[in-house]
Amino acid sequence: MAKLAFIGMGVMGAPMAGHLVAAGHDVTVYNRSRGKSDAWAARYGGSVADTPAQAADGCDAVLACVGTDDDLAEVTLGADGAFAAMAPGSLFVDHTTVSAAIARRLAEEGGAKSLHIVDAPVSGGQAGAENGKLSIMCGGSAEAMAKAEPIMAAYALRIVHCGEAGAGQTTKMCNQIAIAGVLQGLSESLRFAQASDLDLDKVFEAISGGAAQSWQMNNRWATMAKDEFDFGFAIDWMRKDLGLALDEAKRNGATLPMTALVDQFYAEVQAMGGGRQDTSALVRRIKR
């Protein structure tokens, strides 16, 4: 059993921290709005802290899943941030999807304090977090990974060490780039089938077993056909992630024309009021 802190009690962080309790760890949580922390403790039985530093004090490892680069910097490097309270040799794992730049900064500043740092964004959404079946892509040293992997195993189906600091975040960008392209193709395919007066169930049966098959097709074709989008990963968050990828591409010289185009398409769906809808709502901008 390890003494752990988890920062961020959102739809991802709360169930992930719950799995850590179920695995037998001693878990203290912190959230900017105290009510979410209290609700988590009432459900899972862990402890609640008033600041990230208080949560991190005396812990073997601190994990976080917050919102943005600024949020992450605040809970780690701020006046009451976790890094100030963490002992040399302890571990920090960040599950937030953020820029590779902040991941590298945390690795540098944490390293100066003899902390082990892993950037570990996740894929699998809320369902994956609740079911303990997330895919985790990690950046950091081999030593840091050796400390992190047994902890993350409580809520992961797959854990891959992708490289040094920042590699987890850039791998997550690859994930989002690929999803954006698949969803645009799926949207066009669905609308083409509708324009052709085809039976959508038969189309799905015919094409989902071949080269066109994807997770998005298997899980979103039917709901897209019914205009059901009030679940899953929100477009607002997808645009944040695609923006991170486009910014990183400016740094590393990659060319992302499809990503830039789909990002614009998502902006149109946001303008239609779909910012909190699932990413499959991309189909809304294509006329029937």
Do 116 and 245 sit in the same domain of this protein? no
Q: Which two tokens stand for residue 111?
A: 């390293």
The pTM assigned to this predicted structure is 0.94
Do 249 and 117 sit in the same domain of this protein? no
pLDDT at 288: 80
What CATH number should be reported for the domain holding residue 41? 3.40.50.720
Residue 137 belongs to domain spanning: 3-164
- Distance between CA atoms of 39 and 232, rounded to whole angstroms? 22
Do 144 and 19 sit in the same domain of this protein? yes
pLDDT at 189: 98
pLDDT at 1: 87
Q: Which two tokens stand for residue 234?
A: 């929100």
> How far, CA to CA in Å, does 260 sit from each of 190, 204, 239, 256, 278?
22, 28, 10, 6, 19
Do 175 and 268 sit in the same domain of this protein? yes
Q: Which two tokens stand for residue 187?
A: 């949207």
pLDDT at 287: 87
Do 150 and 200 sit in the same domain of this protein? no
- Helix (H) or strand (E) run with residue 130 in it: helix 125-131
Chosen domain end from 164, 189, 204: 164
pLDDT at 237: 95
Which residue ranges in the chain fall short of pLDDT 50? none
Do 17 and 150 sit in the same domain of this protein? yes
pLDDT at 128: 95
> Percentage of the chain surpassing pLDDT 70?
100
Chosen domain end from 145, 164, 183: 164
Chosen domain end from 100, 129, 164: 164
> Inter-axis angle of helices 167-195 and 235-252, to 10 degrees?
120
Do 44 and 130 sit in the same domain of this protein? yes
Do 98 and 157 sit in the same domain of this protein? yes
| Active-site residue set | 172
What CATH number should be reported for the domain holding residue 210? 1.10.1040.10
Do 159 and 45 sit in the same domain of this protein? yes
Q: Which two tokens stand for residue 240?
A: 């944040």
φ, ψ of residue 227 in degrees (nearest 5):
55, 45
Do 137 and 175 sit in the same domain of this protein? no
Do 226 and 152 sit in the same domain of this protein? no
Do 139 and 211 sit in the same domain of this protein? no
Q: Which residue in this structure is represented by tokens 């962080």?
A: 13
Structural domains counted in the chain: 2
